[in-house]
Each structure stands twice: as structure tokens, then as C-alpha cells.
Amino acid sequence: MEIHEYQAKEVLSRFGVTAPPGALAYSPEQAAYRARELGGDRWVVKAQVHAGGRGKAGGVKLCSSDQEIQNICENLFGRKLVTHQTGQGGKGIYRVYVEAAVEIERAFYVGLMLDRSSQRVMILASPHGGEEVEEILSQRPGSVTRTTIEPAAGLRDFQAREIAFALGVSPAVTQQMVRTLKGCYRAFTELDATMIEINPLVTTADGRLLALDAKMAFDDNALFRHPQISELRDKSQEHPLESRAADRGLNYVGLGGHIGCIVNGAGLAMATMDTLKAAGGEPANFLDIGGGASPERVAKAFRIVMANDRVQAVLVNIFAGINRCDWVARGVVQAMQEMQSDIPVVVRLAGTHLVEGQKILAQSGLPIIRAATLRDAAERSVAAWRSDQAQATKLWAEP
């Protein structure tokens, strides 16, 4: 789960990370009023969306008057902000953050993330703040300092100082950098975060170290331990089907293909998508229904997959260990009877109660295509999709 910039700054402030004063606004008039509350003569208006690259996309503007703030916000509110991370659909702007502008002396990049190779938290730091981390790593890989943290000891002061020295921070700001890095690490570990990014982290002419932007993402499976964090979720920034699936305890990721996938287990789901592509198809989604799926749960998964207008065929691939093939079969039959769709459905079952599951499918009277192996299921799904596509083209061409 991701949160907005203003939320991340509020969370990090509890751990000693300092940011310029700012305020949230839900309308152009409120944004201008917030600027007057903050005082000063220059402000930065930032669209609050879950995506990087906001500045290049026109979502971050420097303003020097109330009227300018209002005019800019008139163009931002209700608009879709399209960045390199959002895709062509963009993400809606429903709130902005008004922040006091500061005179930047130097800008840095600081990020904390999970390093899977070492199974530790890693801190990435670069003196080239304001750029996307992908650009920094590709164009200036030698500028990035990597520090792996031993979980039993945590981030030590000497490690934080080494990072500050590598960034060329002045001695007057070094202690602030140590406090900021240690605060970020505490927030990361105590709140079960998966990513913290401050870009840019800047020094000012008056010797302050400030976070001008902040991103945080959290482990969905640990949110039950942090109700104060889960309440920060903004569903308007999430993919509608992904949000709907998450609310029902399903793991769904939308993709760009035309063959919907319903699978149990993340590994099998990945293998299913790979096999589909090898057979000439393109998966429309990743969906893991998990273990112990009841017929109702399978039916819910089916409805979510079918809610995608791009789906022209569905592949159900279940290897039942904890699950049972008869439960899955009942769920598929239940969903197809309710939806009455003519989209071809291919089902491959293996494992616990296979015979009972196959019998339920056979006796349903529904046009379900059954397959014995994953490869067979993938090939049948691609063939069914192509056949359905050809039929649609033929109907469209007929006068």
C-alpha cells in the first residue's frame, strides 16, 4: 500500500525527519487560503497522486501569488495526471499540497528498500537529488552509495555518518543527516514499510536539512498491525479491480492481455502466465486465490476477472493441495451460471478431489473446456481466444 506525499511527511516527522511547512487543500479557493495561512511570498503547489515524475508531467508548480495558486489549481483539480509511472490512463487529482518554497543549496537522493539478495534493508544515497532513481542508477551508477543494515544492530551512527561523508554533506549538517537517516530506518522497521524515498532531500542556505518530497509503501500483509497506517489508504489512486480484489482478500494485478487467469499460488500463477505467453497468448491479469478457497471465493475471483472489458477468454488453473478441486469447480459453475457470459472458459484441475471436480464440471451442462495439463490448458485458452476473436471480426464485417 502506498500513501501520499503529505501523509509520508507527516508519518516521517514523528521519527525526526523535517520538511517545510505545508497544508492540504481540496479546492482552488482552499489552496489559496492555505498559502495565506503559511505566509511568505512563494509556495509550491503539488498534485497528490501515487506516482513519480509529477514535476515533468505538470503536477508541481511554483507560485508567487494567491491568484496564481487558484489559476493553477483550477487546471489541476479533476484532471488526470499522466506520468511515466501511471500509464496512459493517468491518475485523478482530487487534492493538492501547498508548501512553503525554500532556497535550495544542495539536493540529495535517499531511499530505503528491501535488498532481496542480502535479505536486509538497504539505504541508497546519491548527491544527485531531484532525478528519478532509475536515471541515477543508469546514468551515474558510481554516484550511488549502498549501505546494508544488519537487523540485529540496526543503523549505527557511524554508518549514517559514512553516508553523509559520501554525499559531501558539510559538518554543520552532518548531525541532521544522521538523525534523518536513523529516523527513516526506524520508520521503515517499526511500520513494516517496503520502501521509503526522500527525493530531493535538500540543504538550505540557513543550514537546514529538509525533505522536499517523500514516498512510502507498506507491506499489505502487515497492515493489521498498523491501523493508523491502513487508514491512510486512498482507493481513488488504486486500480479499481485491484482495490476490489484486495477488499475480498484476493491478490490481483491487472495486465494488458486478453486472457484472464485464475490460479492458486503466486508461483503457479507466474508459471501459468509464462506458459500462456509461450503458447502465443497474453495474460490479462495475475490473480492468486490463495489456499483453502471456498466456492464463493472462487466465484468472487471469477467476477473480478470478468469485470475487465479486455478479457476475451478465461483460464482457471488449480493445483489442489489445501484447496479442493470440487470447491473450485462449484465456484466456476456458480459464477458462470450467474453471469451467463459467452466468453470461453478453460479449466485445468489437479490434486485433491480431482474426480469429484471433473464430475461437477461435466454435469453442469456449461460449455467449459477442460484440460489435463498446464500446457494443454494454455494452448486451448489461446485457441479459444483466437476463435472468439475471429468470430467477433466476422460479425463486425457482416452487413
Supply the residues annotated as catalytic. 109, 197
Closest residue by Cα to residue 311 from 255, 365, 380 = 255
Containing 355, the helix (H) or strand (E) segment is: helix 354-363
Helix (H, G, I), strand (E, B) or coil at 132: coil
DSSP state of 150: P
247 is in an annotated binding site: no
75 is in an annotated binding site: no
213 is in an annotated binding site: yes
199 is in an annotated binding site: yes
Helix (H, G, I), strand (E, B) or coil at 218: strand
Q: How far apart are CA 245 and CA 252, in angstroms?
A: 6
Give Cα 44 to chain centroid, integer Å: 26
**CB-hemisphere CA count at 13 Å for 375?**
1
Q: How far apart are CA 285 and CA 158, in angstroms?
A: 46
102 is in an annotated binding site: yes
Closest residue by Cα to residue 15 from 136, 182, 246, 264 = 182
CB 341 within 8 A of CB 371: no
Name the binding residues for Mg(2+): 199, 213
Name the binding residues: 46, 53-55, 99, 102, 199, 213, 264
Name the binding residues for substrate: 264
Name the binding residues for ATP: 46, 53-55, 99, 102
